[in-house]
Amino acid sequence: MISVAIINVTSYTGLELLRLLAQHPHLRVTSVTARSLAGQTLGEVFPQLYALPSFTTAIDPMMVIAEEPAPSDLAFVCLPHAAAAEAVAQLLERGTKVVDLSADFRLRDVAEYEQWYQHTHPVPALLESAVFGLSECYPNQIAGARLVANPGCHSTTAILGLLPAFARGIVEPDVIIDSKSGISGAGRSLKLGNLYSEVNEDVSAYSLNGHRHLPEIIQELQAVAADNGHPQSAIRVTFLPHLIPMTRGLLATCYATLTPEALERLNSSSIQELYRAYYAGSPFVHIVEQPPHTKWASGSNHCFIYPTVDTRTGRLIVISCIDNLMKGASGQAIQNANLMCGLPETAGLPVLGVNP
């Protein structure tokens, strides 16, 4: 068994990790931490966990939430950015492998991090060894990593939707991403804009001056284009996130103009084939033949992608969706931990989601 700590277990992503780890065949939760709720038991904070003992000993609802983690083989860090970096550094120092769900180690360029996150990176030296945790892109590097930076939820959806197009060089480097997230993407902390009465029956765009997932998206599209012999000196991305009244789910619609050569050679059906071939070895990415629904992914680690050509404009349209708490956070974190521990990539992850 591999011992696991969850840092900031009282977060939404921490709770989702508990749900997944309760059925994981190889990972065992041996330590959980939080700030204001330290000293309480898991069952006191999340009473639904009292249902576990009849089925599994994997998670003990009587486990006391500590302020500091006990030693473990691996830790999932579910803290907000900035706070996460310091916790990660301490865990690595004591030899623990880390999957960090925050944004602190996703950007390779520290100046870019400091510009977007508006504070000085506390441990920039660790950026070099951190691996961007998109399992479909970097499985070998993740397998050998001590620190994996789990991608953001908007970024995961958009990058997976656009990777094959940039890897095969079939689009111009000018992209629009219209992304819609359920409210759990904003986390569990109390904010006026997240109240039921504010969000219910409402849709709104946010971060019009630039969302911090933008540099992550550009970084990864640029990398895949270069690695596949289609280097782009500058990729222009308009990325606009929206908040919609649902608990889970994230759907991105991406628009990019096909190159003249691609437009001549490809149609919707051959682009779907190109996408299918690209993701042939990826158990959680599925190219579908109709626009996917967020409900298809709810509660699972799956990503559903529908690429099609708008023949009137010559644009590629890609609709990509996930569950933000699963492939967008905790599910992907388990996928990465599996790779880091030499386990099957799919271990402990639900085969299907919940529908309706």
Ligand X SMILES: CC(=O)N[C@@H](CCC(=O)OP(=O)(O)O)C(=O)O
Ligand Y SMILES: NC(=O)C1=CN([C@@H]2O[C@H](COP(=O)(O)OP(=O)(O)OC[C@H]3O[C@@H](n4cnc5c(N)ncnc54)[C@H](OP(=O)(O)O)[C@@H]3O)[C@@H](O)[C@H]2O)C=CC1
List residues near ligand Y by CB under 6 A.
8, 10-13, 35-37, 78-81, 83-84, 101-102, 152-153, 184-185, 187-189, 324-325, 328-329
User: Residue count at the site for ligand X (CB under 6 A)?
Assistant: 11
From the list ligand X, ligand Y, none, which binds 122 (C-beta under 5 to 8 Å, kind-based)?
none
Look at strands 2-7 and 27-33 and give their pairing.
Answer: parallel
Look at strands 236-243 and 204-205 and give their pairing.
Answer: antiparallel
Query: For residues 272 and 324, which CB has a smaller minimum distance to ligand X in the complex?
Result: 324
Q: What is the torsion angle, in degrees rounded to the nearest 10, for the CA atoms of residue 166, residue 172, residue 173 and residue 179?
A: -80
The rounded distance, in Å, linking the Cα atoms of 201 and 183 is 12
Q: How far is the CB of 241 from ligand X (least distance, A)?
A: 5
Segment 141 to 170, residues that bind ligand X, using CB under 6 A = 152-153
Quick check: 235 and 270 in contact, CB under 8 A? no
From the list ligand X, ligand Y, none, which binds 83 (C-beta under 5 to 8 Å, kind-based)?
ligand Y
Q: How far is CA 318 from CA 104, 134, 138, 171, in A?
A: 28, 19, 22, 12
Q: Which residue is nearest to ligand Y (CB)?
A: 187
When asked if residue 17 is in the footprint of ligand X (CB under 6 A), the reply is no
**Cα angle at 242 between 77 and 118, to 5 degrees?**
50
When asked if residue 63 is in the footprint of ligand X (CB under 6 A), the reply is no
When asked if residue 43 is in the footprint of ligand X (CB under 6 A), the reply is no
Q: Write out the E strands in the chain.
A: 2-7, 27-33, 74-77, 97-100, 131-132, 147-149, 171-181, 204-205, 236-243, 250-258, 285-287, 303-310, 315-322
Tell me, yes or no, if 321 is annotated catalytic. Answer: no
Q: How far is the CB of 277 from ligand Y (least distance, A)?
A: 29
Indicate which residue of 153, 254, 303, 321 is catalytic: 153
When asked if residue 337 is in the footprint of ligand X (CB under 6 A), the reply is no
Query: For residues 36 and 197, which CB has a smaller minimum distance to ligand Y in the complex?
Result: 36
Query: For residues 97 and 211, which CB has a smaller minimum distance to ligand X in the complex?
Result: 211
**Cα angle at 215 between 245 and 234, to 5 degrees?**
125
**Positions that interact with ligand X (CB under 6 A):** 81, 102-103, 152-153, 181, 185-186, 213, 241, 243
Task: Point out the residues that are catalytic.
Answer: 153
